[in-house]
């Protein structure tokens, strides 16, 4: 009999490292655009420390304010894994702080994303570990459970599966399913290159903006050569 709601799966299907590396250096915004803007975490989950996130999701969920399963996840996660913790967006109690995140640094994790609160902000800001969270509070967590590890979780309005590719920078977090990764990475790199070309045109003053009037005309916008009265 399965103890649904209080169980741990010890293994996940991690993507081939080449699939993950295909996203290195590509802005999260470009990746999100190529996913039709459908796989970005809510803006309330923001970056609070140094570095960018890139790695496979190691998922955790627990009841609000409880971090027992996060302690176990830190024991289990492998170097490069990104712990994605579903705390239901609750900000009443901090799910983690300096001590636990030092363990994540020692284990060389790829990052930690908390849909909930953290504490010890001043120290976490300076850590060599990408950390994203929804808020900050001095109130500490409980350690009672229940919870689950390596099951699908809902975080920042996006469903994240164990092994999904997590990419994050100053703009936020985007989630890519491994089966889509090769195609999305290629599209995102192409889009990023196109934007770099456009930036060069902007700086040179040669950017063609004729498309704006064409788009307005196509949508029926009236342009009046005169002053509003």
* H helix or E strand, kind and range, residue 55: strand 53-62
DSSP 147-199: EEESS-EEETTEEE-TT-EEEEETTEEEEE-HHHHHHHHHHHHHHHHHHHHHH
Is 126 assigned a ligand-binding role in the annotation? no
Contacts 24+ apart (CB under 8 A), 192-200: 192/26, 192/27, 192/30, 195/30
Is the CB of residue 48 less than 8 Å from the CB of residue 137? no
Is 100 assigned a ligand-binding role in the annotation? yes
Is 68 assigned a ligand-binding role in the annotation? no
Is 99 assigned a ligand-binding role in the annotation? yes
Is 54 assigned a ligand-binding role in the annotation? no
- Token duo for residue 216: 């307005």
Dihedral angle sign, alpha carbons of residues 108, 111, 114, 117:
positive
What are the binding residues for substrate? Answer: 97-100, 119
What are the binding residues? Answer: 97-100, 119-120
What are the binding residues for Mg(2+)? Answer: 120
């Amino acid at each position: 009999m399965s103890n649904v709601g209080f169980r741990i799966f010890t293994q996940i299907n991690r993507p081939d490292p080449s699939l993950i590396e295909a996203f290195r250096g590509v802005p999260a915004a470009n990746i999100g655009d190529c996913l039709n803007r459908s796989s970005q975490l809510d803006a309330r989950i923001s970056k609070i420390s140094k570095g960018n996130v890139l790695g496979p999701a190691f998922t955790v969920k627990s009841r609000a304010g409880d971090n027992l399963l996060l302690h176990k996840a830190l024991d289990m996660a492998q170097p490069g894994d990104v712990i994605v913790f579903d705390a239901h967006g609750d900000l009443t109690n901090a799910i983690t702080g300096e001590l636990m995140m030092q363990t994540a640094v020692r284990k060389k994790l790829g990052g930690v994303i908390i849909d909930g609160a953290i504490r010890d902000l001043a120290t976490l800001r300076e850590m060599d570990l990408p950390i994203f969270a929804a808020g900050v509070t001095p109130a500490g967590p409980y350690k009672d459970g229940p919870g689950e590890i390596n099951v699908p979780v809902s975080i920042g309005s996006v469903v994240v599966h164990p092994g999904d590719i997590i990419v994050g920078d100053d703009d936020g977090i985007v989630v890519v399913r491994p089966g889509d990764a090769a195609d999305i990475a290629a599209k995102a790199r192409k889009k990023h290159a196109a934007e770099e070309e456009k930036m060069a045109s902007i700086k040179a003053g040669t950017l063609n903006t004729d498309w704006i009037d064409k788009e307005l005309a196509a949508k029926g916008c009236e342009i009046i050569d005169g002053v509003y009265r």
